[in-house]
Every structure is written in C-alpha cells, then in structure tokens.
Structure 1
Amino acid sequence: MPIVRNGWGSATRLTIRAVAELAITAGVVLAVFVFYLLVWTNHRTEAAQADLTEDFRAAQETGTEVEDRFAPPDSGEGLGILHIPELGEDWSWVVVEGVGDADLARGPGHFPGTAMPGSIGNFAVAGHRATHGEPFAHLDRLGVGDDVVVETVDGWLTYEVTWVRILSPSATEVLEPVAGHPGEKATQRTLTLVTCNPRWSSTERLVVGASLVERRPADAGPPDAIA
C-alpha cells in the first residue's frame, strides 16, 4: 500500500514561516517609525532652530529696523526667542509664526490672529511636548510666579505665570484676547502656552497663562530672570 504523506505539517510550517516574516517586517517598520519620531524629527527641528537663531542674531547685530512689531511675519518665520528659566539655564527656542504641522516642526508656533509679543491681548503659543525637538516636554514644571521671557529684536518682555490648567482639546477659549473669556475686550498684555497632555498623548491640553510684568529695550540687557 502506498504511503500517503500528511500535507498538514507542510502547510503549518509555511504558515508559521509567513507569520514570522510578517512579524519581522512589522518590527522593522516599527523601528524605522520610532527612529523617525524620536531621532530624525528632533534632528530636523534642531537644524531649523539653528538657522532661525542665526537669522535672529544677525538682525540684532545689524540693527535691522522692525517695520511693524505688531504685524506677524510669514508662516514659519521667527518672531522672537522664548526663554523659560525654570526649564533650564540654557532653555531657549525661536518662536515661529503659525501652528500648522510644518510650522511646529520648526519650533513653538504663534497662533495666527492672537496678539503679538508685548501688545495688548493674548500672545498665544503652541509647542510639541514629544518629537520635533520636544520644546514643551517639561512645561508641567511651570508654576504660578515663574518667569517666561520673550526676546524680540528690539527688546525683552518678561511675563509672570498666573495660572496653569489641564483642559480639553476643544477649550479654544484660551486663545481669546482675554484667555477663557470669549467676547471680553483685552486691556492687559498676556501670554498663553499650549501643549498636549499627557506628554505622549493628545487627549488633553496643558495650558499656562502669564501676564507681562516688565519690558526693557534691547540695549538694557537681559532681565534678571535670565541674566
């Protein structure tokens, strides 16, 4: 009687091999994706920040006149340097105009339509808490009374943190001229910083509010907070 070999063993081996190959492929794709998020995006943002800082310092050194300091630059262009001493002695980021993906890939972004630095109203800025340089990774360390300094071509602006809140992503009222009070006319100069919360999620927003407490010209040197 001829021997009939069972084909189930071969089929099982082929299935296992196919599944293993798929798992290896998925692992490679995941590793590449993680590398892109944690290494490559940070590298690209660092390069962009270097260029933006160079342009900003060149404008300072040449005494470039600011045609209208209350008018925003083009999307993706720098408008000032943000310093937060509480996040590190050397912590500084050039803030760019715009909060689109391309803008935030270059650094913290100014919400179009909100006030410019030092003007009456709400100067609102968003930033990544993870990937793309993670400028606001540790924004949760800020508390009431901490200083946030904005360096512009023509001077220094020191804001003092007055509130910190965790809100839903739909709480866009924090971008109003008076943060949290839609329709109210602004009479003060304020700053609002917005980022995701928790750090590796986007289910909430961490929002920090501050008020302008000091303004000084560029030739007066940096304020005590960062001197």
Structure 2
Amino acid sequence: MSVRWIIRTFSELCLTVGSLIVLFVVYVLFWTGVRADSAMDGELGKLAERWATGPVAAASPAPGGPSQDGSTSPGAGDAQDDGPPPQPAYRDGEPFAVMYIPRFGGDWAKPVLEGTATGTLQKGLGHYDGTARLGATGNFAVAGHRRTYGDPFKDFPRLRPGDAVVISDGTTWFTYRIDKRPYRTSPGDIGVIDPVPRASGYDGPGRYLTLTTCEPEWGHSHRLIAWAHLDATEPVAGGRPSALRS
C-alpha cells in the first residue's frame, strides 16, 4: 500500500465528509425553513377557513371597563374572573389562534397550536398544555423555535418593555404588553410558566402571557423568557386592533 494511495483515499474521505456537512447545514438553515414556512401558511389557512365558514366560540372576557376606543383594559394583577361558560378544549396539535408581534416586523404572523411536541413546533408556536387559555386568568404560555423551522423567535432578544403581543382567536383581539426584557434561565426552570410566573415580578394572580425560546441562538442549553400582561381586548368585528395600526 503506497503512501500516495493513502493520501488520495484520505483526501476523498475528507471531501465526502465535507460535502455531507455542507448538505446538512443547507438542510438545517434553508430546507427546514422552507418546510416550516409552508406548514405555518397551511395552519394559518386552516384558521382563516374555519373562521370564515363557521361561528367561533367566544373567548373569556377580560375584566375592566371599556376604554375610549371600545377596548377593555384590565389591570395586570386583576384576579377577578367573570365566570364565562366552559369553552371547548384546545385540540392537541391543532391551531386555534394567530400571534402578531409588531417588534418583529409588520408581516410577522404565526399560528398558535396546542401542545409543544416536536412536530407541533415545526408548524408554528406551541401552547403549553395545562397553562391558561388565551385571555383567561392565569398564564397563557407559548413556546417557539429561535432558529430552524422558520426561525419564528429569531429576534426574541429585541423584545422591550411596552412591546405589544397581539393574539386573535377569530372573535377577539387580545393585546398583551411585555413587562421586562427577556430573562435567561435553565430548561428545567418550569416555574416560569406557573400561573404567577416565578421571577416575573408579578405579585399575584392576573392574566399573563409567557413566551419561551432557546438560548443561545444556535443552541439549547438555556431558555429565554418574556412575560407580558393582558392590556386590552377588542372585537375582531371592529377591525385591526390599535396595537397593529400604529
């Protein structure tokens, strides 16, 4: 066996491995994004068709009196519940709402599905099973990928206090307001999605939103958390909410 043959064989192996790595990177950075964007568009289409062809169950109304624009503005820590009739349970893996975050761009809109299974998060954002319903007293907690599968929370660190997170269930616009910059913690810190989230600064029951994603940007050793309180509700029939018109 000659030295030349060994060198040539090793070089060919290096080229093969290098090609495989390049293909894998292309798959992770590009193809998963293409598939996820198509999947999310499909989920958004499902919701649009559902909302256009049938009645949507009314969501839990927020407490507090109407504001000048007809919206409702509850306090962040208001624990009073109006006792709405029971609503159908969210169906695992199925979309039930659309989230808009103006900070991420005027065309940023992602479906919210029930559950946080791997397959579910490849089609949009996932609502943590067992956390509050949208707009209800408690903590409505949602997870999303930072990178890959459409990069829905790529710009997560840009969130700032006062930023709007608007979510529609087809009948009501729910506008939440971010209360603090994203918080970094470990994956095992499940207290961040408690009804009164640990380390959030909230001191009692309220109508809260928790967003979670991976940290660092291309890893998953930690989590980034953003908390918000329900600031206003507006009927979908009245057009786009004020938070999306500015």
- Shared topology, TM-score over 0.5? yes
Who is 2:211 aligned against? Answer: 193
Who is 1:15 aligned against? Answer: 6
Who is 1:3 aligned against? Answer: none
Please give the alpha-carbon distance, in whole angstroms, between the structure 2 residues aligned to 1:166 and 1:80.
27
The alignment partner of 1:216 has SS state of: strand
Who is 2:229 aligned against? Answer: 211
Q: Given the superposition, is the C-alpha separation of residues 72 and 128 from structure 1 closer, same or farther in structure 2, using an over 3 Å criterion?
A: farther
1:148 is the counterpart of 2:139: no
Please give the alpha-carbon distance, in whole angstroms, between the structure 2 residues aligned to 1:91 and 1:121.
26
The alignment partner of 2:243 has SS state of: coil
Please give the alpha-carbon distance, in whole angstroms, between the structure 1 residues aligned to 2:189 and 2:2.
56
Please give the alpha-carbon distance, in whole angstroms, between the structure 2 residues aligned to 1:185 and 1:206.
21
Who is 1:49 aligned against? Answer: 40
Q: State whether residues 121 and 186 of structure 1, in contact with CA within 8 Å, keep that contact through their aligned partners in structure 2.
A: no
Please give the alpha-carbon distance, in whole angstroms, between the structure 1 residues aligned to 2:235 and 2:114.
23
Q: State whether residues 120 and 186 of structure 1, in contact with CA within 8 Å, keep that contact through their aligned partners in structure 2.
A: no
TM-score by length of 2: 0.82
- Residues 110-129 of structure 1 show CA distances to partners (whole Å, capped at 9, x for unaligned) of 11111111111111111111
Give the Å deviation of 1:214.
0.4
The alignment partner of 2:132 has SS state of: coil
Give the Å deviation of 1:68.
7.8
Q: State whether residues 59 and 171 of structure 2, in contact with CA within 8 Å, keep that contact through their aligned partners in structure 1.
A: no
Residues 89-168 of structure 1: matches in 2 within 5 Å?
89-163=106-180, 164-168=182-186
Higher RCO structure (Cα 8 Å, ≥6 apart): 2
The alignment partner of 1:19 has SS state of: helix
1:85 is the counterpart of 2:76: no
Who is 1:221 aligned against? Answer: 239
Q: Any unmatched runs of 5+ in structure 2?
A: 61-86
Equivalent pairs, count: 216
- Residues 187-211 of structure 1 show CA distances to partners (whole Å, capped at 9, x for unaligned) of 3111000011121111221100000
Q: State whether residues 212 and 224 of structure 2, in contact with CA within 8 Å, keep that contact through their aligned partners in structure 1.
A: yes
Sequence identity (%): 36
Greater CA drift, 29-38 or 132-141: 29-38
Q: State whether residues 40 and 124 of structure 2, in contact with CA within 8 Å, keep that contact through their aligned partners in structure 1.
A: yes
Please give the alpha-carbon distance, in whole angstroms, between the structure 2 residues aligned to 1:87 and 1:104.
19
- Residues 137-183 of structure 1 show CA distances to partners (whole Å, capped at 9, x for unaligned) of 001110111110011111100000012311122211111111117xx
Who is 1:59 aligned against? Answer: 50
Poorly superposed stretches of 4+, deviation over 3 Å? 67-72
Q: Any unmatched runs of 5+ in structure 1?
A: 1-9
Give the Å deviation of 1:43.
1.0
Q: State whether residues 177 and 185 of structure 1, in contact with CA within 8 Å, keep that contact through their aligned partners in structure 2.
A: no
The alignment partner of 2:113 has SS state of: strand
Q: State whether residues 125 and 144 of structure 2, in contact with CA within 8 Å, keep that contact through their aligned partners in structure 1.
A: yes
Q: Given the superposition, is the C-alpha separation of residues 39 and 96 from structure 1 closer, same or farther in structure 2, using an over 3 Å criterion?
A: same
- Residues 70-100 of structure 1 show CA distances to partners (whole Å, capped at 9, x for unaligned) of 5443222111001000110111101111111
The alignment partner of 2:91 has SS state of: coil
Give the Å deviation of 1:67.
8.2
Give the Å deviation of 1:186.
6.5
Please give the alpha-carbon distance, in whole angstroms, between the structure 2 residues aligned to 1:32 and 1:225.
42
Please give the alpha-carbon distance, in whole angstroms, between the structure 2 residues aligned to 1:62 and 1:188.
33
The alignment partner of 1:22 has SS state of: helix
Query: Which of 32, 40, 46 matches 2:31?
Result: 40
Larger radius of gyration: 1
